[in-house]
């Protein structure tokens, strides 16, 4: 029996590099916005879109925005594949400290983070896919929490 266990263990060890070579690594194909330092600037109050995909190695998208005065900020997100993605959205300050985050609820097409009371400064939004993939639309609204989100034209 020990000889059989040894052969199985050796066979699995030999196959590990082949199995690992079949998939893509975390953020291996991120498109250049996988790090906070590479965050893409966002125009406030403008609907934008992007895609994250754990399957394709584009797990993380970072966005940045600046506030010239204190305000309440809301991040509205619409998922094209809300049942196919396991993701989170997080707002961080200029030092990388987490301010608030939301974990995507499977099947929810529209979600929001905030309103968050923020001081003047630079902030970051991180979109992170833990599993699956989806295109997402988003907007960062400054001001009244009661403002109706514009949303994507689906």
Question: What digits encode the pLDDT tens for the residues 128-154?
Answer: 999 999 999 999 999 964 455 566 655
The reported pLDDT for the residue numbered 19 is 40
Cα–Cα separations (whole angstroms), residue 61 to 6, 109, 143: 43, 19, 24
CA–CA distance, 73 with 71 (Å, rounded to integer): 6
pTM for the full predicted model: 0.77
Class of domain 26-142: mainly beta
Q: Cα-flanking dihedrals φ and ψ of residue 11, to 5°?
A: -65, -45
Q: Where are the domains of the chain?
A: 26-142
Residue 5 is predicted with a pLDDT of 46
**pLDDT tens, position by position, 37-63:** 778 999 999 999 999 999 999 899 999
- Dump pLDDT digits (tens) for 109-125: 999 999 999 999 999 99
Residues whose CB is less than 8 angstroms from the CB of residue 112 and which lie 6 or more positions away in sequence, other chains included: 74, 75, 76, 77, 102, 149
The dihedral over CA atoms of 149, 152, 131, 32, expressed in degrees to the nearest 10, equals -100
pLDDT of 70-101, one tens digit each?
A: 999 999 999 999 999 999 999 999 999 999 99
């Amino acid at each position: 029996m020990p000889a059989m266990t040894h052969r199985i263990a050796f066979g699995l060890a030999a196959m590990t590099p082949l199995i690992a070579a079949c998939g893509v690594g975390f953020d291996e194909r991120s498109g250049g916005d996988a790090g906070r330092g590479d965050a893409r600037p966002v125009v406030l109050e403008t609907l934008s879109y992007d895609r994250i995909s754990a399957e394709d190695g584009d797990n993380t998208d970072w966005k940045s925005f600046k506030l010239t005065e204190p305000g309440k900020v809301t991040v509205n997100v619409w998922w094209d594949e809300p049942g196919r993605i396991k993701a989170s959205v997080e707002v961080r300050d200029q030092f990388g400290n987490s301010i608030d985050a939301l974990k995507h609820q499977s099947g929810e097409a529209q979600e929001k983070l905030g309103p968050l009371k923020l001081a003047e400064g630079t902030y970051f939004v991180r979109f992170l896919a833990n599993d699956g993939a989806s295109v997402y639309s988003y907007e960062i609204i400054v001001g009244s929490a009661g403002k109706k989100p514009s949303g994507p034209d689906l």
